[in-house]
Amino acid sequence: MITYCTVCRTGRVFSPMIRGEADEFRLVGMDHFNAMFEDKRTGSWWRQATGEAIVGPLKGQILTELTGRQMTLGEWAAEHPNTRVLQADPAFAEEFAGMKNYDRGLSKGKLTRRDSASWKPKSWVIGVEKAGFSKAYDWNKLETKRILNDVVGGEPLLLTMAPDSVSFGAWSRRVGYKHSPSSTLTESSPIRKPDLPGLGVGIALQAH
């Protein structure tokens, strides 16, 4: 299940398997400025940012997150030149055109606007979660440096941004049983959170 919240700009990919069976989900609303989904079988409500059920019979369960990347079609096509693209329906050309400011972070809407300065309520950050720890990284700094090295939850981490200044990724620096030396960032400290499986990454607003 591929998800994206247009308010906090968080993209997450989850397995739709619940108790060994694939389920279907639908968007039902928003909670704390993050999209909320409902599963078809039990009617439980799930947070898009974390994959956790917060209401219903499955409350407390967490969907298994799958690896995903947030990038432009141009960067994807450069890596996968044989990609086929479903063309947009021309009947909705006006609606698609109206999303250009949003795509560029220039939206003026109360919920979707962006603070271009760092560490403001609507600034963009990249959040990484690993082994119960989470850390936010300044989008502007990554855009300038293009590469950041750090350690989160004991995992040697590499953050990268493509030349288009939109596509980004978070990678483990482990090669076999070794990893490259890193310089630890000091502008934000790890925050202890409930344990989440794997390495999670997404762009999000710093605060709401």
Q: Which residue has the tokens 């219903």?
A: 56
Between strands 168-172 and 2-5, the pairing is: unpaired
**Bridge partners (DSSP) listed for residue 168:** 70, 161
Residue range 72-83: average pLDDT? 92
Encode pLDDT of 26-45 as tens digits. Answer: 999 998 889 999 999 999 99
CB distance 99 to 93 below 8 Å: no
- Cα distance between residue 134 and residue 202, in whole Å: 11
Of all residues in the chain, what percent carry a pLDDT higher than 90?
A: 53
Please say if the pLDDT value at position 18 is more than 90.
yes
Q: Which helix (H) or strand (E) holds 45?
A: strand 45-47
Residue 117's pLDDT is 93
Answer yes or no: pTM beyond 0.85.
Answer: no
Note the pLDDT of residue 110: 84
pLDDT at 185 over 70: no
pLDDT in tens, 89-98: 899 888 888 7
pLDDT tens for 158-177 read 999 999 998 998 989 987 64
Q: Are strands 45-47 and 34-39 parallel, antiparallel or unpaired?
A: antiparallel
